[in-house]
Structure 1
Amino acid sequence: MIAAGDLHQAWRALPVAPLSDIIGGGTCLILAPHPDDESLGCGGLIAACCAAGRPPLVAILTDGAGSHPQSHAFPPARLRALREREARDAVAYLGLPPDRILFLGQPDTAAPHQGPAFTVAVNALSACVKRENHCSAILAPWRHDPHCDHEAASLIAAAVAERCEIRAVGFPVWGWTLPDDHAVPAPESSGWRLDIARFLPLKRQAIQAHRSQYGGLITDDPTGFQLPPALLSAFETSFETFLQS
């Protein structure tokens, strides 16, 4: 066990590394649990890959339709379409071609941890890896990120990495918001930091493209999700953190 505060300090002290040290010599597949996690956790890496002529494949695991369950103006089908459109806009800011994003359509807050739906997701992503010219890594949230869909994405990515014999890399999202005294059942992680200073303005644009998650667009659901300031501030930095899985 390790205190989250100590883990955060260790993450901030990870060595700065070039892109190839993190994802290997080829392209990579990024598995985001929801539309917005791709921009929050690794928007800078996506932009860096695109600038290097190695655009990643971005897969969105869930449909995002659970963020505003009581909205009448945005029932699930409309919210699902909106969040997909926001994700497409977000990655476009980062330089990703439109044919490099796909949506797996798993239910928000119910992504599979095992069973038939889990196998379907693993099969679909493994097929994507095999179609790539040279995919050397799959990226997904840190395995202890405190959200059920993030945990599911980490498990799916690990299964794909094992099947396809590629590198598995984690990136913290909600893990940055854990209280300092929260005990994490993991050893101090090793990994890298990527300098994204050059791409930080693009990352900001990508995050802001997810307008439905800021609270000003969908106003008829008082229980609706809103990106908290503590989470947003964690990504207002010139480095992104990537962990060896």
Structure 2
Amino acid sequence: MRADAFLAAADALPLGSLDALVGAGGLVVVAPHPDDESLGCGGLIAAARAAGRRVHLIVVSDGCGSHTHSRLYPPEKLRTLREVETMRAVSILGLAAEDVTFLRLPDAHVPSAGPVAEDAARAVAQAAAACGAGAVFVTWRHDPHCDHKASAAIVTLARSHMPAVRVYEYPVWGWTLPPETEVGPAPTGLRLDVSAYRATKVRAVAAHESQTTDLISDDPQGFRLEPAMIERLCGPYERFVAVLA
């Protein structure tokens, strides 16, 4: 199926409840970079916490690839900033510090296989076990960013350690794919109505100031989330594509 048709179908997935999506347990969100959790799953996290469910976030990369030419924010300082922003964002969504794990793998070089990927997969499985997860959520395997693809591959590796846990993928950058890109069969899964949490999600996204403002002013080539991208991802629904066994 072409990417444009796939994503249109994802926009039309049937609506489901949190129970239908996750089952009775908690959930794990796997974010390739600090901010993907808010962009792709901010409504899900807020809804789950409002329902009293346990949620654990795993941030895979160190986020140091967003502003590689900044002298004001060299890599270690940028990593610290992005982790502080993440903690601010997820506190808005209802998470505490102990609900977040930073794996700090190198941004733009997250491995899809090998010992480091296997260690990351074990971290995902351990988090799922610790919060009694009914489901794990990770970025779509066809998102046009290497770390998003690698994070999906890591969760695939983790499945052997958590065979009873459902896996879903959430598109973040998928809408930037060339429309004719082949991405496999039509999606199955569910949409979650997060309209009650839209304002909360927007606040969480905005907490990532290094990605949404000119906070880092000395790198004209640095990454900046476009308002249209934020608006696209902060609508009334979040889309979760089921990964079949």
Q: Same fold (TM over 0.5)?
A: yes
Mapping of 1:43-54 within 5 angstroms?
A: 43-54=42-53
Mapping of 1:88-237 within 5 angstroms?
A: 88-132=87-131, 134-165=132-163, 166-179=165-178, 181-237=179-235
Q: Percent identity?
A: 42
Whether contact under 8 Å (1:14, 1:191) holds in the other structure is yes
In structure 2, stretches of 5+ residues that fail to align are: none
Deviations 1:41-80, CA, capped at 9 Å, x for gaps: 0100000000000031001000101110110000001000
Alignment correspondent of 1:3: 2
Distance in 1 (alpha carbons) for counterparts of 2:80 and 2:116: 22
Distance in 2 (alpha carbons) for counterparts of 1:162 and 1:171: 21
Deviations 1:175-224, CA, capped at 9 Å, x for gaps: 12324x33223111111100001000000000000000124100111111
Mapping of 1:66-85 within 5 angstroms?
A: 66-85=65-84
User: Number of aligned pairs?
Assistant: 242
Shift of 1:118: 0.7
In structure 1, stretches of 5+ residues that fail to align are: none
Shift of 1:131: 2.6
Shift of 1:162: 2.7
Alignment correspondent of 1:22: 21
The 10-residue stretch of structure 1 (65-74 or 226-235) with the greater mean CA deviation from structure 2: 226-235
Deviations 1:148-187, CA, capped at 9 Å, x for gaps: 00001101112212321111111110012324x3322311
Whether contact under 8 Å (2:109, 2:147) holds in the other structure is yes
Distance in 1 (alpha carbons) for counterparts of 2:144 and 2:238: 18
TM-score normalized by the length of structure 2: 0.95
Q: AA paired with 1:150?
A: H
Distance in 2 (alpha carbons) for counterparts of 1:38 and 1:145: 14
Alignment correspondent of 1:59: 58
Q: AA paired with 2:187?
A: S
Distance in 2 (alpha carbons) for counterparts of 1:205 and 1:66: 23
Q: What SS does structure 1 have at the residue aligned with 2:53? A: coil
Q: What SS does structure 2 have at the residue aligned with 1:183? A: coil
TM-score normalized by the length of structure 1: 0.95
Whether contact under 8 Å (1:176, 1:231) holds in the other structure is no
Whether contact under 8 Å (2:118, 2:157) holds in the other structure is no
Distance in 2 (alpha carbons) for counterparts of 1:4 and 1:129: 30
The 10-residue stretch of structure 1 (212-221 or 102-111) with the greater mean CA deviation from structure 2: 212-221
Runs of 4 or more consecutive aligned structure 1 residues displaced over 3 Å after TM superposition: none
The 10-residue stretch of structure 1 (119-128 or 73-82) with the greater mean CA deviation from structure 2: 119-128
Q: What SS does structure 2 have at the residue aligned with 1:218? A: coil
Alpha-carbon RMSD across the aligned residues, in angstroms, is 1.2
The 10-residue stretch of structure 1 (165-174 or 222-231) with the greater mean CA deviation from structure 2: 222-231
Q: What SS does structure 2 have at the residue aligned with 1:10? A: helix
Shift of 1:127: 2.2
